[in-house]
Structure 1
Amino acid sequence: MIQNEHIEEFLRQAHRVGDAGLTVCSSGNLSWRVGDEVLVSGTGSWVPSLTKDKVAVCRLETGEILNGVKPSMESVFHLGVLRERPDVNVVLHFQSPYATAVACMEDTPKDFNVTAEVPCHVGAEIPVIPYFRPGSKELAEAVIAAMKDHNSVLLQKHGQVVCGKDFNQAFERAMFFEMACRIIVLSGGKYKTLTKEEIDDLETYILGKKTK
C-alpha cells in the first residue's frame, strides 16, 4: 500500500512542520493514514529534518511494524486516534514555543477563544490533559479519549496534539493553536475571549455546524 511517493510526501510535510517552528530537534511526532497502513516518524527522529530511514510503516489495526523501523514512542496514541476517528488521517504532536509555555503555566487558561480562528479551526473547547510521562500508557489513553470528540488537546508540562482530515487541516490547527497561545502569553494574561453568543454566531454563519 505505501509507495515511495507517500514517503516523499510525508517527509515534505514533516519538514514543513519543522520550518514553521512547531517542533525542535527530536520533539514532536507525525503520523499519516494511507489505507490500512500508517506512516509514523521513527523513535528519536528529528521531524524538521526527517529522513526516509526514520519513517516507520505500521498496520493500523494491530500496530505491527511493517518495514523494520521503530515508530515514535507516542505512536500508541497516534494509532488510537486514527482508529477512533475515521474522519481523521493525520495526527501531529508538537511543542511550539508559546503553546508549550502555556502548557507549563501554573494556571492553565480555561478558554482559548481569543480570535475567531480558534473556534473555527482549533476547536471551541480544547481539553487540557494533566501531565503523564511521555510515551506512557496513561498519556496514550488520555489523548485517545479526549480526541474522540475534539480536534486539539493541550498536554500539561509537555505539548499539544492536533488531528485533521489531511496535512493542511492538521497544520492549520497547529498554527492557529500556537497563534492563540502567543496572544495569551504576550497579553500578560489580560486578554478577552469570544462570548458564547459570538461563537454561536460563527458556527451559524461561517461554519454552518457546531465545532468540536
Structure 2
Amino acid sequence: MTAIHTSTSATENRLREEIAEIGRSFRNLGMAPGTSGNISAKLEDGWLMTPTNASLGALDPAEISKLDWDGNLLAGKPPTKESFLHRAFYEQRPDTGGIIHLHATHSAAVSCLNGLDEHSCLPPITPYFVMRVGRLPLVPYYRPGDAALGDAVRDYAADHAAVLLANHGPVVAGKTLEAARNAIEELEETAKLYLLLRQHDVRTLNEKEIDELRDAFGAQW
C-alpha cells in the first residue's frame, strides 16, 4: 500500500523529479535493465528511495518512497529491498546527498572476475576515475536482500565513496545526486575501458600524477 503524506517541500518535489529523470537517463543508456538498480536522495526530514520492483526508466515521482531515519515509510510505495545499502552510506558519510546502485553491464562484469584487487577493483586508468570515484574496494558476495550486506558496506563507507559488490554491481555516494550520477557513469566507462584493455600492457597513472590530482581536485585515492 502507498503511504499517504499530505505536504511536501519544494526541495522534496525537485528531488523526486530529479530521481525520475536520472532513472530514465540510465535506462536510455542501457545501465538499468529490467527493474534493477536503485536511487536515493537525502532530505532534511528523511530520505527518498526508489520503490521495490520499479523500472528506473518508468518512475512516477509521486510514488517514490520517503523514509525516516528509522526506516519507516512516510510516503509513496514500499522501498527497494536494497535500501539498507543506501542507509549504510548515509550513516557513515554525513555529507552524502545522493546514492546510486546499478547493475550496469561493464561494472557488473568486473564484479564477477576472479583475482581483483580487493582494495581497488579498477586501477587508476584515467584522471577522471581517480577524481570522481577514487579507490573502489570489493565487498564480498552476499545474496540479494541479505541485510548482512549492509553491515559489510558500512565497514567501507566511511573511507570510500564507492564500492563494488561481488557478482552484483557498484554503489556510489555523492555530495549531491548529480555528483553520484556523474561518478557512477564515470565508473561504468572505466570498467568498460578496463575490460577492453585487459589483454594489453596498460599505462596507469603513477603516484606523482595521482598526488597532483589530490592537490588540485581533492581526489580520494
| Both proteins in one fold, TM over 0.5 | yes
What residue number does 1:24 align with? Answer: 33
Per-residue CA distance 1:20-55 (angstroms, 9 max, x = gap): 332112111010111122110111111122124641
Secondary structure of the 2:110 match is helix
The equivalent of 2:142 in structure 1 is 132
Q: Which amino acid aligns with 1:141?
A: D
Contact 2:62 2:76 survives alignment (8 Å)? no
Question: 2:57 aligns to what?
Answer: 48
Which shows bigger deviation, 86-95 or 68-77?
A: 68-77
Could you tell me which runs of 5 or more consecutive residues in structure 1 were left unpaired when the two chains were aligned.
none
Change (3 A) 1:68 1:97: closer
Q: In the TM superposition, what are the counterparts of 1:92-103 in structure 2 within 5 Å? A: 92-103=100-111
Partner residue in 2 for 1:198: 209
* Deviant stretches of 4+, over 4 Å: none
The structure 2 residue matched to 1:121, chosen from 107, 114, 132, is 132
* Structure 2 counterpart SS, 1:186: helix
Displacement of 1:68: 5.4
* 5+ long unaligned stretches in structure 2: 1-6
Deviation at 1:175, TM superposition (A): 1.1
Counterparts of 1:10 and 1:18, CA distance in 2: 12
CA distance in 1, matches of 2:103, 2:125: 20
Q: 1:80 to 1:64 in 2, by over 3 A?
A: same
TM-score by length of 1: 0.90
* Greater mean alpha carbon deviation, residues 181-190 or residues 40-49: 181-190
RMSD in angstroms over aligned alpha carbons?
1.8
Deviations 1:101-149 (A, max 9, x none): 11111222544211111111110x2111111111111211111221111
Q: 1:85 aligns with which of 62, 68, 93?
A: 93
2:22 equivalent to 1:13 = yes
Change (3 A) 1:199 1:42: same
SS where residue 66 of structure 1 aligns? Answer: strand
| Percent of pairs with identical residues | 28
What is the TM-score of this pair, normalised by structure 2? 0.87
